[in-house]
Amino acid sequence: MKKIFILILGVLSVITVSAQQDPQFSQNMFNKLANNPGFAGSRGVVATSVLHRSQWMGFGEDGGAAASTQNFSIDAELPFLYGGVGLNVVKDNIAEFSNLGLQASYAYRTELGVGQIGMGMSVGMYQSGINGGALKSAQSGDPVIPTGDVQGSSLDIGAGIYYNTQDVYVGLSSAHMTEPKIEWSDGQDFDLTRHYFLIAGYYHELNPVLSLNPSIYLKSDGATSQLDINTNLIYNNKMWGGVSYRLDEGLILLAGMNVNEDLRFGIGYDVTMVNPMGNSLEVMLGYNFKINYDKPVSKYKNPRFL
């Protein structure tokens, strides 16, 4: 598994990167359900997560963030369904442009070698809109920009595969698989592009109190790609700090802690090196609810920190 992870990291490190339609997350290693329905139910608890991201802080006339993203996710293992279910909600605002995604997921889970694999699908709704009346270009008579508040929605489907052992995880998934066309209320179309995601990580114990968790996160729409290379140093499985490198963009500082056995808090701060629009701040809060039921002992162990 170590050799496989290093090979994936080496190959992906040469890929050119840029942005796509879907929002980016700096704490992607703690937010896997957002992009991969195959992750649902992999932790054996009812896991919830809330994330807020302020993108390009200080950009704009009001000195606020140019974009903001909120994400809520919940997933749980359901043995009588032979897998897990999940719900993921993402709200993304970029100036006067807004998106809302709502996906319900199911993942069939089974043992594979020393680990477990989840094969999942998500079905939901994607809503998009723009307040064209607030844009200066609309006031100048640009026929392409709506003069009022318009929006529309469409069915959205995704799929993913997620494999993990106690120390390693690998996931491959796709969003907007049917490339839905959203028709705004003024008759214009907003087309969604199919996206692909690859995540992989490894948990390595350095000594009884220190562990290393390198990981990668690749997002692509088939034409352009964006790659994060992450490393977290974990102390006593309670606190972590680390750094990520986002190719052609900058560095991300990561920190967080497990407040107790169930409550987790994390923060990410993006330092952009080539983007003049400013830095970004991301805050994450997660809570796990235990499920009490009898199930047979599996050959694999649940992931420790992944």
> To the nearest 10°, the Cα dihedral for 254, 258, 259, 263?
110
| Confidence at 184, pLDDT banded by 50, 70, 90 | confident
Q: In this structure, what token pair is assigned to residue 169?
A: 């995880």
> Tell me: the pLDDT tens digits for 248-287?
888 999 999 999 989 999 999 998 876 666 788 999 999 9
Assign 41 a pLDDT band (cuts: 50, 70, 90): very high
* Predicted local confidence at residue 302, as pLDDT: 54
Q: Contact, 103 vs 124, CB < 8 A?
A: yes
pLDDT of 92-120, one tens digit each? Answer: 887 778 899 999 999 999 999 999 999 99
Q: Is residue 242 exposed (0-12), middle (13-18) or buried (19+ Cβ within 10 Å)?
A: buried
pLDDT over 80 (residue 85)? yes
Residue 162 tokens read as 């997620």
Q: Which of 1-10, 185-194, 206-215, 253-262 shows the lowest per-residue confidence on average (mean pLDDT)? A: 1-10
Q: Which CATH class is domain 2-126+158-289?
A: mainly beta
Mean pLDDT of all residues in the chain?
Answer: 83
Tell me the backbone φ, ψ of residue 292, rounded to 5 degrees. Answer: -105, 110
Using alpha carbons only, what angle is made at residue 22 by residues 21 and 24, rounded to the nearest 5 degrees?
120
Q: Which of 8-12, 59-63, 92-96, 130-134 is predicted with the least confidence, judged by mean pLDDT?
A: 8-12
Average pLDDT over every residue of 227-239: 94
**Do 170 and 197 touch, CB atoms closer than 8 A?**
no
From the CB of residue 281, how many other CB atoms can be counted at a distance below 10 Å? 15
Q: What is the pTM of this model?
A: 0.84
User: Is residue 157 pLDDT above 50, yes or no?
Assistant: yes
* pLDDT band at 189; cut points 50, 70, 90: confident
Residues 99 and 182 sit within 8 Å (Cβ to Cβ): no
Give the tokens for residue 231.
């490393």
96, β-bridge pairs? none
Beta bridge partners of 46: 289
d(CA 7, CA 216): 12
- Better-scored residue on pLDDT, 61 or 172: 172
**How far is the C-alpha of 88 from the C-alpha of 101, rounded, in Å?**
8
Which residue, 81, 117, 30, 105, is CA-closest to 293? 81
Residue 146 — φ and ψ, nearest 5°? Answer: -60, 150
